[in-house]
Amino acid sequence: MAFFCQHCGTGLPVGARFCSNCGAVVTACAYVPGRPLVRPIIGRQIAGVCIGLSQAYGWDLTLVRILTVLGIIFTSGLVAVAYLACWIGIPEEPVRLP
């Protein structure tokens, strides 16, 4: 499992709190197996967190959304806080010009 700085893309040791290259704070949402964890512009419902997670980890998008909604309901907002953390922590997908 690779681990990259969200700001500059520098490879980091797993568990690093700060990027050794640009000094950015690294969040728990920054684990990147294979493809970058981003919030896609296309296909998002709210902030693109669910689709970003499903694409990065190969999870089923519908399942991720259902679990997110159920999690928010049954954890008294704990998952909502995690969702917000991912919203802030996961960078938006770079806009690709045609």
Residues binding Zn ion (CB under 5 A)? 5, 7-8, 10, 19, 21-22, 24
Nearer Cβ to Zn ion (25/70)? 25
Long-range contacts of 33-37 (CB under 8 A, 24+ apart): 33/1, 33/2, 33/57, 34/2, 36/4, 36/9, 36/91, 37/90
Nearer Cβ to Zn ion (4/71)? 4
Nearer Cβ to Zn ion (19/64)? 19
Q: How far is the CB of 8 from Zn ion (least distance, A)?
A: 3
